[in-house]
Amino acid sequence: MGAKLPDFAGLRVAVAGDVICDRYLVCEPKALSREAPVMVLRHAEERVRAGGAGNVARNLAALGASTMLYGVVGRDAAGRDVRVELERDLVGVENLLSVPGWTTPQKSRVLAAEPRRNAQQVLRIDHEPGVPAPEEVRADVRARLRAALANVDLLVLSDYNYGFVEAALGKLAREFAAAGRVVVLDPREQLAGLEGLTALTPNVDELARFARVGAERLTQSQSLELAAQAVLEQSRARWVLVTRGNNGMALFGEDVPPGGWAIEASGSGNVTDVTGAGDTAAAVFALCLARGLDAPRAMVLANAASGVVVMETGAAVCTPQALREALQSAPHLAPLSGGVRS
């Protein structure tokens, strides 16, 4: 397989969606507590990464695309910290608005390890806003996005169910797709109002939810195919890329054989942390479509890039160099029906 990488620099990308503050509290085990049967950890260091739509954006920027983020955070410490991280990751944050009184979605992970060992996650604490950010702020962000679209090659929507990805944003995105541009949605809870886009990148659980079948059935290729075809019809998307965790990916839609294309997971198998792999998959698949690659080839690259990030702790990004190397030994496409493991 030719390992030449397309040049993503010069592509102008807008990412719109739910921005999350991923916080990592790295600790060392100290003792068993005498207060309760719990472990006592000594705080060693703290790290912040942009999560959700922020992680999609930083994956796009790491591959050289000029990336602007559209969304909201609270006017709180998590919102400030995630903005600093995004700037460090070269993501444009002029259209990430801070909302007084709204809570930035935050996932705080407590990691414990002896020095120079791989950290294990022991606990996660989520801060959740409870309600979407006020409609007038979201409308402001949408107006900014609408005004910018004439100079955008690709729009990626990242839904983490915190309220930014809904029908009004879907309408704007659909118009952009109807004008011949690439719009990719990484969906979460719902597809209503988000029809008519270029492609969707659900994981197996999300596909099962949209197709109203049990996720356990989707280990069978025929059920997976039926569910994907139902979601293609329902969403009127041109492609559905199903991410299947350690089973790789499957692709359905235009110019794909009816049974679908499948690809096995890429990488060495030394998986450290699968957090954010779906964000990388959506980012790279979208970028490849916008670069003019056909959808099966876009899946090969997305799968290779996702195989890179699962080998690092926390939500990571794949650089062009790492992607080029991963492509040297990347798995090949196969018909889904021949290639399913359960």
Ligand X SMILES: Nc1ncnc2c1ncn2[C@@H]1O[C@H](COP(=O)(O)OP(=O)(O)OP(=O)(O)O)[C@@H](O)[C@H]1O
Q: Which residues are catalytic, by number?
A: 279
274 binds ligand X (CB under 6 A): yes
How far is 231 from 237, CA to CA, in rounded Å?
8
Question: Looking at 276, 314, 331, 339, which residue binds ligand X (CB under 6 A)?
Answer: 276
How far is 254 from 228, CA to CA, in rounded Å?
12
**66 contact choice in Mg ion, ligand X, none (CB below 5 to 8 Å, kind-dependent):** none
56 binds ligand X (CB under 6 A): no
What residues from 230 to 289 belong to the interface with Mg ion (CB under 5 A)?
A: 278
What residues from 195 to 214 belong to the interface with Mg ion (CB under 5 A)?
A: none
330 binds ligand X (CB under 6 A): no
277 binds ligand X (CB under 6 A): yes
Question: Looking at 18, 85, 89, 279, which residue binds ligand X (CB under 6 A)?
Answer: 279
**281 contact choice in ligand X, Mg ion, none (CB below 5 to 8 Å, kind-dependent):** ligand X
Amino acid (1-letter code) at residue 300: V
108 binds ligand X (CB under 6 A): no
For residues 267 and 245, the answer to whether their CB atoms sit within 8 Å is no
> Which structure tokens are listed for 235?
């969403």
Interior/surface letters 232-262, b for 16+ CB within 10 angstroms, e for the rest:
beebebbbbbbbbbebbbbbbbeebeebbbb
Question: Looking at 245, 259, 296, 335, which residue binds ligand X (CB under 6 A)?
Answer: 245
In the complex, the smallest distance separating the C-beta of residue 62 from Mg ion, rounded to whole angstroms, is 18
The residue assigned the tokens 């997971």 is 265
How far is 319 from 9, CA to CA, in rounded Å?
12
In the complex, the smallest distance separating the C-beta of residue 7 from ligand X, rounded to whole angstroms, is 23
271 binds ligand X (CB under 6 A): yes
Query: Greatest CA span in the chain, whole angstroms?
Result: 65
Nearer CB in complex with ligand X: 66/306: 306
> Which structure tokens are listed for 147?
């005004």
Q: Which alpha helices (DSSP H) does 48-199 contain, by range? A: 53-62, 77-88, 135-148, 167-178
**271 contact choice in ligand X, Mg ion, none (CB below 5 to 8 Å, kind-dependent):** ligand X
Residue 244, CA distances (Å) to 249, 255, 333 in order: 5, 21, 14
For residues 7 and 64, the answer to whether their CB atoms sit within 8 Å is yes
In the complex, the smallest distance separating the C-beta of residue 186 from ligand X, rounded to whole angstroms, is 7
Residue nearest to ligand X (CB): 278
How many chain residues are in contact with ligand X, going by CB under 6 A?
21
Contact positions vs Mg ion (CB under 5 A): 278
Contact positions vs ligand X (CB under 6 A): 203, 243-246, 248-249, 265, 267, 271, 274-279, 281, 303, 306-307, 310
